Chains A and B, each alone.
Chain A
Amino acid sequence: MIIVESGPLTEMKAHALTTFPDECCGFLYGTEQTDGSRIIIKILEVNNSKSGDKKRRFEIAGKDYMRAEKFALENDILLLGIYHSHPNHPAIPSEHDRIAALPYFSYVILSTIPEKIDHIKSWQLNELSQFEEEVFSPAHLNQSI
């Protein structure tokens, strides 16, 4: 389960709406519980550095990733995943998402439509390098958010 606190959730949604119709992206920070569930307490917005079609692609520059790891170390929190948006598309990882995905990370995807977050889902790679959905809270995936 991944629980996103209201502050970072609000920021993440605002980021996705601001960048619409382009994809947004950023990092998720927080803590891990003994049962494996994750609590996201902070996000870090980053620039979508993809050159070309940002409406259906995102890329995070290596320097931004180094900055994100440094932030986690300096603030004694865990870098737990990545969020990005799918403008006008469901929050289901594409093959592009899967190929570039890293184990361990949670991948939160926000499906955006004009002026609205349609739904949010979160995913993690399994041992076979396939995405499995993880329970996203507080706003469940297919509910109106």
Chain B
Amino acid sequence: MQIEAGTIGEVIDRITLDFPELKKHLLDQQGGIRSFVNIFAGDDDIRDLQKEKTPVNNSTVISIVPAIAGGSH
């Protein structure tokens, strides 16, 4: 999907507005991005950039990636 926005935060706002069911999967109760959700701008994790304030432009490819983890005990 294509979204016009200036920052990652605006992208998330738009997605959760258009697809309200996604909100509980993407955001925690405080409205922050859930710890089990990774968001990439291009090849970079936004946690290594400016998080929700990371700027985007009309060529930025944004990937929402689940954290895969677990363990025996």
A binds B: yes
Size of the B side of the interface (Cβ < 8 Å), in residues, is 15
State whether A58 touches B69 (Cβ < 8 A). Answer: yes
Of B38, B40, B68, B73, chain A has the most CB atoms within 10 Å of the CB of: B68
- A-facing residues in B8-42 (Cβ within 8 Å): 36, 38, 40
- The stretch that binds B, out of A9-17, A89-97, A132-140, is A89-97
Alpha-carbon distance between A2 and B65 when the two chains are bound, in angstroms: 25
**With an 8 A cutoff between CB atoms, is A100 at the interface?**
yes
**Nearest chain B CB to A45 CB, angstrom units:** 14
B contacts with A: majority SS: strand
Alpha-carbon distance between A102 and B65 when the two chains are bound, in angstroms: 11
Which residues of A sit under 8 angstroms from B72, Cβ to Cβ? 23, 56-57, 86-89, 94
- Per-residue B-contact encoding for A49-72, CB less than 8 Å = 1, 0 else: 010000011111011011000000
Closest 6 CB pairs of A and B: A57-B71, A97-B70, A60-B68, A62-B38, A86-B72, A89-B72
Residues of B bordering A, CB below 8 Å: 36, 38, 40, 43, 45, 63, 65-73
List 12 additional contacts besides A56-B71, A82-B68; criterion CB under 8 Å. A23-B72, A50-B71, A56-B72, A60-B69, A62-B38, A62-B67, A63-B40, A65-B66, A96-B69, A96-B73, A97-B71, A101-B70
